[in-house]
């Protein structure tokens, strides 16, 4: 039986009007320190976003969301944050902010595969 390890995750939310506080879940980021693993996936449901905020700049929001998986992967394509260690990139990604794209609260779980956990979170919280 594969070893179960702890992981942390946060759902990525789009809050088109911060003042109103309405949001949609648009992705998730998972960090597993034991496996030195960090990955995010985003899936913006444009119809849901436009129902909530008809004047939302979908392309701008999508562009910012797509930066999150690049930051997880690290390297030159992720800008200066991409040069940080995985744990530091994780902390940067889940730091509270009051912009249109926000991380939700950090939660913890146990899994055999962080990738499978990420897919399950997307299935339950985003799709």
Instruction: Indicate yes or no: pTM above 0.85.
Output: yes
Tell me the range of 16-20, 77-81, 103-107 where mean pLDDT is highest.
103-107
When pLDDT is cut at 50, 70 and 90, the band that residue 24 belongs to is very high
pLDDT digits (tens, 9 = 90+) for 42-98: 999 999 999 999 999 999 999 999 999 999 999 989 999 999 999 999 999 999 988
Residue 25 sits at φ, ψ, to 5 deg, of: -80, 130
Q: What Rg do the C-alpha atoms of the chain give, in angstroms?
A: 15
What is the Cα–Cα distance from 111 to 91, expressed in whole angstroms?
Answer: 20
Q: Under a CB-based contact definition with an 8 Å cutoff, are residues 122 and 30 in contact?
A: no
Residue extents of the structural domains in the chain: 5-126
């Amino acid at each position: 039986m594969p070893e179960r390890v702890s992981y942390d995750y946060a759902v990525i939310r789009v809050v088109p009007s911060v003042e109103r506080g309405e949001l949609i879940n648009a992705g998730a980021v998972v960090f597993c320190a034991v496996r030195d693993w960090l990955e995010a996936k985003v899936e913006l449901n444009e119809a849901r976003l436009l129902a909530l905020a008809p004047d939302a700049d979908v392309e701008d929001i999508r562009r910012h969301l797509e930066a999150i998986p690049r930051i997880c992967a690290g390297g030159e394509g992720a800008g200066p944050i991409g040069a940080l260690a995985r744990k530091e990139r994780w902390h940067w990604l889940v730091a509270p902010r009051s912009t249109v794209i926000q991380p939700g609260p950090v939660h913890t779980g146990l899994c055999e595969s962080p990738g499978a956990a990420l897919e399950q979170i997307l299935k339950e919280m985003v799709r």
